[in-house]
Amino acid sequence: MKQPMKKDKGTYHHGNLAESLLDAVDELATQFGLEAVTLRACAKKIGVSPSSAFRHYSDKRDLLTAFATRALLQLSNALSTANATAQTNHQNALQAVGLAYIQFAIDKPAFFRAMWSEETIYSEDERYVAASETLSANLKGGFADSIRDTDPNSLSSEELLAWSAVHGLANLFVDGPIGKGQTEAQKLALATEMIQTLAPAFKAHSGTPATSE
């Protein structure tokens, strides 16, 4: 049976303990993988007792559910911010959104891996479901409003192509053979080339040329 994430119990001397534990998840998972994450290890990482950690999260699965929820919301925000900045500066919104997605994966591989890792989380948790729906709405809404969209409630073939391409490359950077030994700048340059190759398949949103720089 799914166990819900517990609400924060208060503020500790080093800040918000619930959020600090999620920071510890990020550090441990990035270094050792999600399977190495435990509540006790996270508590030790930030210098608090295990009992303090258990006041916020009932078990490892609960902790990873909160971590995945944070990841979904941060990615959604990154895509929206990238699009808004591109539109303001009259730049290629599709390219900006695609690069934001890939950069999120490169910079935060543990978050990227955790988002849809349903075997390790409580996927029916209300906050996780809400975060999933937020990101889904962003992707269905013209791939974060970067391409034309006539139905914001479903994935069009164009939206699916855009998402599949950037998610696939992001995954190949994080867990695959692509980009090994390359710098972040080199990876993003490769990603830019891929998105520009895809651009002719899309119609730009709000008159922003899909092939513009």
pLDDT tops 90 at residue 202: no
The SS3 assignment for 15 reads strand
Task: Measure the CA dihedral 187/29/35/6, to 10°.
Answer: -130
pLDDT tops 70 at residue 185: yes
pLDDT attached to residue 13: 42
Mean pLDDT of the chain: 88
Mean predicted confidence (pLDDT) in 132-155: 92
Of 163, 173, 162, 153, the residue nearest 199 (C-alpha): 162
Indicate the pTM of the whole model: 0.85
pLDDT, tens digit (0-9, with 9 covering 90-100), for 2-58: 444 444 433 344 459 999 999 999 999 999 988 999 999 999 999 999 999 999 999
pLDDT, tens digit (0-9, with 9 covering 90-100), for 91-127: 999 999 999 999 999 999 999 999 998 899 999 999 9
What are the distances in angstroms from CA 195 to CA 59, 67, 82, 90, 105?
Answer: 41, 29, 15, 17, 16
pLDDT attached to residue 201: 87
Q: Look at the domain 68-201 and name its fold.
A: Tetracycline Repressor; domain 2 (1.10.357)
What does the domain layout of the chain look like in residue ranges?
68-201
